């Protein structure tokens, strides 16, 4: 069966409320790539009904960011989701999600203010607000999200816990190109040369893991090595940080829970990556 396209909140609420089994939900901003599709496949395996939302959420972009140019291709997305036999595509417009009198915001203090939150101060407020709205509308049992946005998952888990939601986030591994670049809709912005330069992110992660495998536990030492590496590869560093997976607290000694987090500009495109350091 072809996925049904639902544009109104009231219709979506009626449909998901009606189903008896498990509802799986994959929130997206569209322009789907293999990373998104891997989430949908897992949702299909684990749930009875699968909903994918496609909504480019304006409130998570700052005025200087790429909201207007963010890639969109609904027809292609629809075809991909039809192939995977998704049940419903929730595809609301801005007026549906943020009517003119809209005036409520959800904020998770602390962990929204580090890493990407420092260079994108209003970003997570937009993400938490829209995701809570989507969760209230779709009422999923499970919500599937990719670990490329590890901070997003951590912030959303905290929001759902603090606000007593029953929805469980299922974190899914980063999907990479064969050469290591983490899949992202924003990779589309890279020209050929920048696409090559962008490999410095995954290579830096590899370098960091190698140093840890050889016994290094000092984040400062690894930071020096990969800062030099990324700079030589034409990457402009927004941040490189070492934080604990559970609460994103900063760490001075690398242990099993420590992740490296990177945000690097390749030309004007800001790319992120992260990984556990100690296997």
Site residues (vs ligand PAF, CB under 6 A): 27-29, 57, 60, 127, 130-131, 149, 152
- Residue closer to ligand PAF (CB basis): 65 or 257: 65
Question: Closest separation between CB of residue 220 and ligand PAF, Å?
Answer: 31
Question: Closest separation between CB of residue 150 and ligand PAF, Å?
Answer: 11
Cα separation of 29 and 91, whole Å? 10
Question: Closest separation between CB of residue 179 and ligand PAF, Å?
Answer: 23
36 classed as catalytic: yes
Catalytic member of 19, 36, 123, 234:
36
Four-point Cα dihedral 93, 99, 100, 101, nearest 10: -160
Beta carbons within 8 Å of 38's beta carbon, 6+ residues apart: 146, 172, 173, 175
Strands 23-28 and 49-54, sheet pairing: parallel
Q: How many residues are recorded in the chain? A: 279
Question: Closest separation between CB of residue 196 and ligand PAF, Å?
Answer: 26
Bridge partner residues of 142 (DSSP): 24, 168
Q: What share of the chain is helix, strand, coil (3-state, %, to 5)?
A: 40, 20, 40
Beta carbons within 8 Å of 274's beta carbon, 6+ residues apart: 147, 148, 150, 174, 205, 259, 260, 261, 262
- Residue closer to ligand PAF (CB basis): 59 or 251: 59
Reference 235, options 259, 199, 187, 209; nearest CA is 199
- Residue closer to ligand PAF (CB basis): 156 or 264: 156
Question: Closest separation between CB of residue 123 and ligand PAF, Å?
Answer: 9
- Residue closer to ligand PAF (CB basis): 26 or 49: 26
- Residue closer to ligand PAF (CB basis): 24 or 27: 27
Q: Which residue has the tokens 């960011």?
A: 65
Q: Report the catalytic residues.
A: 36
């Amino acid at each position: 069966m072809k996925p049904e396209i639902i544009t109104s909140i009231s219709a979506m609420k009626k449909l998901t409320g009606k189903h008896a089994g498990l509802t799986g939900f994959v929130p997206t901003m569209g322009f789907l790539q293999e990373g998104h599709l891997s989430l949908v496949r897992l949702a299909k395996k684990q749930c009875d009904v699968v909903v994918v939302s496609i909504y480019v959420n304006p409130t998570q972009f700052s005025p200087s960011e790429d909201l207007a140019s963010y890639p969109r291709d609904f027809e292609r997305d629809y075809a991909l989701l039809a192939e995977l036999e998704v049940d419903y595509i929730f595809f609301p417009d801005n007026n549906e999600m943020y009517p003119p009198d809209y005036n409520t915001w959800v904020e998770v203090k602390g962990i929204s203010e580090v890493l990407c939150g420092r260079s994108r101060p209003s970003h997570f407020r937009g993400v938490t607000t829209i995701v809570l709205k989507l969760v209230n509308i779709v009422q999923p049992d499970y919500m599937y999200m990719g670990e490329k946005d590890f901070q997003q998952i951590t912030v959303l888990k905290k929001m759902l816990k603090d606000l007593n939601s029953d929805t469980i986030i299922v974190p899914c591994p980063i999907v990479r190109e064969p050469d290591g670049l983490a899949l992202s809709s924003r990779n589309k912005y890279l020209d050929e040369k920048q696409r090559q330069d962008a490999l410095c992110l995954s290579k830096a992660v590899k370098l960091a893991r190698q140093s840890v495998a050889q016994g290094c536990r000092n984040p400062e030492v690894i930071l020096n090595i990969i800062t030099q590496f990324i700079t030589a590869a034409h990457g402009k560093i927004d941040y490189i940080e070492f934080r604990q997976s559970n609460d994103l607290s900063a760490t001075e000694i690398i242990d099993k829970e420590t992740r490296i987090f990177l945000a690097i500009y390749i030309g004007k495109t800001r790319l992120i990556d992260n990984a556990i350091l100690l296997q």
